[in-house]
Amino acid sequence: MKQGLHDLTGAGLPWGAARPTTPRVPPQPRPSEPAAAPRERAVGATGARGEHTHSETPIRVPRAAVQRSSVRGQILDALRTALVTGELEPGEVYSAPVLGERFGVSATPVREAMQQLALEGAVEVVPNRGFRVVRRGARELAELAEVRALLEVPVLLRLARTVPPVRWAELLPLAEDTVRAAGSGCPAVYAESDRAFHRAVLSLAGNEQLVGIAEDLHRRSQWPLVGTQARRGRTALLADATEHLALLDALASGQLEEASRLVGEHFGAGR
């Protein structure tokens, strides 16, 4: 007799609403404020007062560069969240200094984060003004869903024939996380949880390039549409999340035909 997913784990589905989290960005010096000079540390220096031997060359490591990289990453995460929730509205132009004021940082990390979003196709550069959020339509969303299906479905069906049931059972907590995130009704919270689940599934293939490309496509598919379809409601998010549970159960119990059907429906809805 084949085992179901819950038979392997002995756990039921915990239910509860996840509290949406807001990325926190540490305060940075305003452009008008004089920033402290970057401190440097001599690596390999010996002796008192920074003295070193003739055979050793001190290496100066600026600490500020590491800190700025961290801030840029936090700003990028915050902007991606604002894209998913629709706080950054399609068609609107945003300047780096204004956004920097909102986050309490200088314009530099915001501009660098926006340039990354431009590479991802989320915004476009408007000379001397800032960055315009790209308008997206239903056709683009359908095209992204089709590409994701062409990339992920064959891999998942191959994994269904080779991955042992216990490995699928190990992904149950991530699938349950998506249900809790969907229950919060916050699209940004659900988007992050949804990507984590799909990333874990594809990671079983052992192909890092596949995981990276698929996640980029997945992230793009989560940006809201223009107009009335701009946001998916709680009901739609819950329907999407519960499909994760059904899929894992079919995979863990060896129901390949059912898994194939569920995979097709999941990507057919453009999720």
CATH code, domain carrying 160: 1.20.120.530
For every one of its 271 residues, what pLDDT tens digit does the chain have, with 9 covering 90 and above?
Answer: 444 444 444 443 333 344 444 444 444 444 444 444 444 444 344 444 444 444 444 434 344 433 455 898 999 999 999 998 888 988 999 999 999 999 999 999 999 999 999 998 899 999 999 999 998 888 888 898 899 989 998 999 899 989 999 999 999 999 999 999 999 888 889 999 999 999 999 999 999 999 999 999 999 888 876 654 445 678 889 999 999 999 999 988 888 888 888 888 887 654 5
Report the alpha-carbon distance of residue 177 to residue 186 in Å, rounded.
Answer: 13
CA gap 7, 89 in Å, rounded: 45
Q: Tell me which of 133, 161, 187 is where a domain ends.
A: 133
Domain containing 177 equals 136-268
In a domain, 81, yes or no: yes
Clarify whether residues 158 and 239 are in a common domain: yes
Q: What is the pTM of this model?
A: 0.68
Q: Does the residue 47 lie in any domain? A: yes
Asked if residue 188 and residue 144 are part of one domain, the reply reads: yes
Looking at 104, 133, 162, the residue that finishes a domain is 133
Partners of 41 in beta bridges: 61
d(Cα 160, Cα 211) in Å, to the nearest integer? 17
Which residue among 117, 133, 149 closes a domain? 133
As given in the structure block, the two tokens for residue 137 are 């339509």
What's the token pair of residue 80? 């991606």
Query: Which DSSP string do the residues of 40-68 spell out, in sequence order?
Result: EEEET--SGGG---TT---EEEEHHHHHH
- Long-range CB pairs of 116-125, under 8 A, 24+ apart, other chains included: 116/76, 117/76, 117/79, 117/80, 117/83, 120/216, 120/219, 120/220, 121/220, 122/80, 122/83, 122/220, 122/223
Same domain, yes or no, for 104 and 175? Answer: no
Residue 84 located in a structural domain: yes
Residue 24 lies in a domain: no
What pLDDT, on a 0 to 100 scale, did the predictor assign at position 69? Answer: 59
Amino acid at 271: R
* Domain total of the chain: 2
| Count of beta carbons in the 10 Å neighbourhood of residue 123 | 25
Contacts of 110 (CB under 8 A, 6+ apart): 75, 79, 96, 97, 99, 100, 103
Tell me if 259 sits within 8 A of 250, measured CB to CB: yes
At 101, the amino acid letter reads E
Give the tens place of pLDDT for each residue, 60-71: 434 443 345 589
| C-alpha–C-alpha distance, residues 220 and 147, integer Å | 12
